Amino acid sequence: MVSQTKTLIEARNAHNGRVDFTFEAAGAPDITKAVSELRVAQPAWAALTTSARAAVLGRWADAIEAMRVPIIEALAADTGRWYLSEAEVDGAAKNLRRWARMAPEILSETMQTEAQASVLIDTVRFQNQFVPYEVAGFISPWNFPITLSLIDAVPALAAGCAVIIKPSEVTSRFVAPLLETLKDIPELAGVVRFVLGDGGTGAALIEAVDMICFTGSVPTGRKVAEAAARRFIPASLELGGKDPVIVMASADLDRATDAVLRGAVLNAGQVCLSIERVYVDRAIYDEFVARLVAKARAVTLNTGDIQQGDMGPMIFVRQADVVAAHLADAVARGAKIECGGELVRAGGIWCPATVLTGVTHEMDIMREESFGPLIPVMAFDDINEAVRLANDTVFGLSGSVIAGTVAEALPVAAQINAGGISVNDCGLTSQTFEPEKTSFGLSGLGGSRMGPASIHRFLRKKAFIMQTGAPLKIGAFAERGGAGKSSKAA
What is residue 32's predicted lDDT score, i.e. its pLDDT? Answer: 98
> Does residue 1 have a pLDDT over 80?
no
In angstroms and rounded to an integer, the radius of gyration of the C-alpha atoms of the chain is 26
Please state, in angstroms and rounded to a whole number, the distance separating the CA atoms of residues 100 and 45.
15
| Per-position b or e across 357-390, b if 16+ CB within 10 A of its CB | bbbeeebbbbbbbbbbbbbbbbbbeebeebbebb
What percent of the chain has a predicted confidence (pLDDT) above 90? Answer: 87
pLDDT of residue 489 exceeding 50, the answer is no
Confidence of residue 435 (pLDDT cuts 50, 70, 90): confident
pLDDT at 5 over 70: no
What was the pLDDT predicted at 436? Answer: 78
Q: How far apart are the first and last CA of the chain?
A: 61
Q: Count how many residues are written for the chain.
A: 490
Superfamily name with CATH number, domain 243-438: Aldehyde Dehydrogenase; Chain A, domain 2 (3.40.309.10)
Contacts of 161 by beta carbon, 8 Å cutoff, 6+ apart: 42, 46, 132, 133, 134, 135, 136, 191, 458
Establish whether 238 is a catalytic residue. yes
DSSP for 441-459, please give it: GGGEESS-SSSGGGGGGGE
Percentage above 70 pLDDT, the chain: 94
Within the chain, how many helices (H) and strands (E) appear? 17, 20
What is the pLDDT, as a whole number, of residue 114? 80
Active site residue 426: no
Q: Is the pLDDT of residue 194 over 50?
A: yes
Handedness of CA 185, 186, 191, 194 (dihedral sign): positive
Q: Which helix (H) or strand (E) holds 116?
A: strand 116-117
DSSP code of residue 364: G
Q: Is the pLDDT of residue 433 over 80?
A: no
Residue 128 contacts residue 462 (beta carbons within 8 Å)? yes
Q: In angstroms, rounded to a whole number, what is the distance separating the alpha carbons of residues 138 and 458?
A: 12
pLDDT at 131: 95
Instruction: Note the pLDDT tens digit of each residue in 69-84.
Output: 999 999 999 999 999 9
Whether the per-residue pLDDT at 488 is higher than 50: the answer is no
- 336-339 and 398-402 as β-strands: parallel, antiparallel, unpaired? unpaired
Band of the pLDDT at 430, cuts 50, 70, 90?
low
CA dist 263 and 286 (Å) reads 20
Amino acid at 89: V
pLDDT in tens, 104-117: 999 976 666 788 99
Does 291 score more than 70 pLDDT?
yes
Q: Long-range contacts for 114-121 (Cβ within 8 Å, ≥24 apart)?
A: 115/464, 115/466
pLDDT tens, 151-185? 999 999 999 999 999 999 999 999 999 999 999 99
- Bridging pattern class, strands 275-281 and 192-194: unpaired
Res. 346: pLDDT tops 90 = yes
How far apart, in Å, are the Cα atoms of 385 and each of 15, 297, 413?
Answer: 42, 30, 14
Domain ranges for the chain, please list them.
8-239+443-465, 243-438
pLDDT at 450 over 90: no
3-class DSSP state for residue 19?
strand
Q: How confident is the model at residue 486 (pLDDT cuts 50, 70, 90)?
A: very low
- Given pLDDT bands bounded at 50, 70 and 90, which one contains residue 483? very low
Q: Residue 366 has what DSSP assignment?
A: G
What percent of the residues of the chain are helix, what percent strand, and what percent coil, each to the nearest 5?
A: 40, 20, 40
Among residues 158, 168, 153, 155, the alpha carbon closest in space to that of 209 is found at: 153
* Top-confidence residue, 129 or 81: 81
- Per-residue pLDDT band for 477 (boundaries 50, 70, 90) equals confident
Pick among 3.40.605.10, 3.30.70.100, 3.40.50.300, 3.20.20.80: CATH of 8-239+443-465: 3.40.605.10
Annotated catalytic residue within 161, 213, 272, 426? 272
Is the separation of the CB atoms in 158 and 192 below 8 Å? no
Q: Which of 121, 422, 137, 383 is nearest to 262 (CA)?
A: 422
Q: What mean pLDDT, rounded, does the chain reach?
A: 94
Catalytic residue among 238, 276, 368, 369: 238
Q: What is the pLDDT of residues 292-336, one digit of tens each?
A: 999 999 999 999 999 999 999 999 999 999 999 999 999 999 999
